[in-house]
Structure 1
Amino acid sequence: MSTDTVDRARRVIALQALAGVVAGVLVAGVATVGLVLVGQHREVQSQLTALLAVPDAEAVPSGSWVVTVDRFGRRTASAGTPASLPSAADLASARRGTVVDREAYVGDEEYQTRTRTVNGSVVQAGVDLAPYESERHRVLIALLVAGVAAALVALVAGQRLGRRALRVWDDALSRQRQFIADASHELRTPLARLALRADLLHDTLRQDGPREDIGPEVDLLRREAAALADIVEDLLLAAEVDSSPDSGELVDLAALVEEVLDLDLQLAASRGVELAADVGSVPPVRGAHPALRRVVDALVDNALHHAHSMVTVRLRDDGDDVVLTVADDGPGIQPGARDRVFDRFAKDPSSPGFGLGLALVREVVERHAGTVRVLPVERGTTFEVRLRAESAEEPDTDGTDGTVAAVTEG
């Protein structure tokens, strides 16, 4: 998903949120104005009915008036009654027995009037509509302000919602890209070893025919294929977005290191590099065997790529820790670059690969509650991995009492 597509999707989500809120405000506004109009109409009609029931010009509420015209044309009006009311048409209609309800305009003033005959006289009651008009204006202004505020809030909330909604896709795409990069890197070395062993086996069979001592070569080929299957399974588990790691197992790191060295001997020989080992007796460590195997494999492979003539692997017991060191006699790492070698895609331009191996090593080691660093040495490069030692007699637990959860890299 490109940046333009993501930005466009975010804008669409923000606009949809804005449209929804504006529509809601409009519906609420129409309903509110309707209720106000109905309430005002009922109040005005109630006042007119009360004024006509007791047409007393001396006791008229503020904002209303009553005027009486008797059969002789004498006019009696309360204070504030417009002089031009009632009109001749209203008088004529009322004398014919018709009740006249209408809005009357006197200059800029608007009144609601009701005219009828009471005891032979024409009585007109009126209510000034200016306060009601002002109330309607205040309601409309309040609704407009509320609508603008709601639209701004909806726009901001929509943008945040869009970013949050698309964050899941960004994360999924990032995991996908990371998985592809990790898989490409992790499978490169095992596939190279498989190809090398297959070529050696093919050349041997073609030159000498079937031999009785071909068994060890076939066994190495089988073990290499099994290791490759473990890596694929480990990577697939790590690619799951919401996977929960299982409890770790006790791993014999000495046997694991010897297994990796056996598989790398021919690869080292093909590159003219001597692969030496000093593997002592060490207690087990808790973790995931495939992931820890990848750590050893990646460090040895990195050393073989940079060594001039010698790679040395040591494993020793250091009390509470098991310490693995992998050293080569290559050009070494500049002091200022030691902290960056474990970053993804951090690599020397002249080095092969994509700069992922050491980053994957650090991720796996840290998930095993261990540490990895570059030791300061005069010649070449030496990596040190420290993992917490476990008692071999300690039973497996559910991972809650200081155990390290099974690790898959991703």
Structure 2
Amino acid sequence: MNGRTGNGRTGKGRAAAPERRVLRAVRIRLTLQTAGVITVVVLLLGCLTYCLFARYQRAEVNRSLQYALRSNRPGHDDPCTWLYVEQAGRIGRPAQSPAGLPLADAIRQTSLDHRTRTVSVARDGTHYAVRTEQRGNEVFQAVFDERYLRSARHQVLLTLLTAELVGLVLALVTGAGLARRAITPLGRALTRQREFVADASHELRAPLTRLHTRAQLLARQRSGNLAPETAGELERLVTGSRELAEVMDDLLLSASLDAPAAGRSRIDMGALAEAAVEAERQRAAQAQLTLHLTRSDEPIEVYGSASPLRRVLAALLDNAIGHSIPGGSIRVALRTSDEGHAVEVTVTDSGIGFDPADRRRIFERLTHSGEGRGRRYGIGLALVRNVVEAHGGTVSATGRPGEGAEFTVRLPAAGDSGSSRSATLRHGYGRSLRPRTRRPSR
């Protein structure tokens, strides 16, 4: 079959809306990471340059102070340096001495303990480096005006900050270009994957439709001549073939360009749970397990798509049956919580359980347990999480080795359609089929 339905084909070279959101998020993340790395490198180089420049200036100040102290001339003609000499209680001052200098306290303390002192002081809006030392009976105090060095340091800092801002802009542009080139192969791979899903679903839909039609005809023609058990199995065959056709429809829908949240309505989770339990009752009986369903007579409704929610329940029951031992029991319970704002579905089994440390890992794709008769690979539970999250809900699991497990699905009630509807329409069912690279399930 070479025909293509409108939903069965993706645009060539284009990804669906959920995939575009993922690719955009990846591109933004790569851009920010690349820009962050480049910015940090430029910032480190700027800090290193500034520190080296400041260190050079400090060395220059020390050389100027030492030269002034060696010259022993109060009238030293350097316009940025002054030398004061204290002898017998009298201080010799150079011409044009700055206001507030010399530091008489530093001279007095040095004359008492003979220790050399170097300090930085602010006088009259200017910073001065002051060194005081004693030589023989005289105390010398050299003063250096740092205003020009500080001005140069400020200019260097401003230049480095400007360079950092320019570097940040260039880093963002560079990061965006590199990110776009990096994710282009990923986008093509996602497009090819979606096209494969569309093609495979389209090719399988026709034979499944024929199978469902023939099962219906057989059920109508032979129902009066068959034993009740056989007639019931035939009806379940019709139901199973219809559900499989719905899976194909969902795959076709997910492969469309925008994967719209079509077909969403108020769903009675109680009716879905009852149908799922009845569909698995014979299989559970063959495994020597008992199935129990607890629900109220009133509808317990959520807003969503019936087919994916039905498969959530089927996957949880399959997981429970596959990991329960003969003679055990499986209980399915539905109830409302948060004063009717949420719907909770719990599936509890008395099976082999799991390590509590794995309660998050079991929902990861392709996680392998090596035990149980159900789906040993976590595709089923991974899809459960994706579908539930696409409906604005959460799924969790608790259990201990040898003590069974309990899975809880929590969905917004249909009464809170504003919040749940916004979540479902925002994510779309296409998200539930988005591949995840993970590790194995129970």
The normalised TM-score by structure 1 is: 0.49
Structure number with larger C-alpha Rg: 1
The normalised TM-score by structure 2 is: 0.46
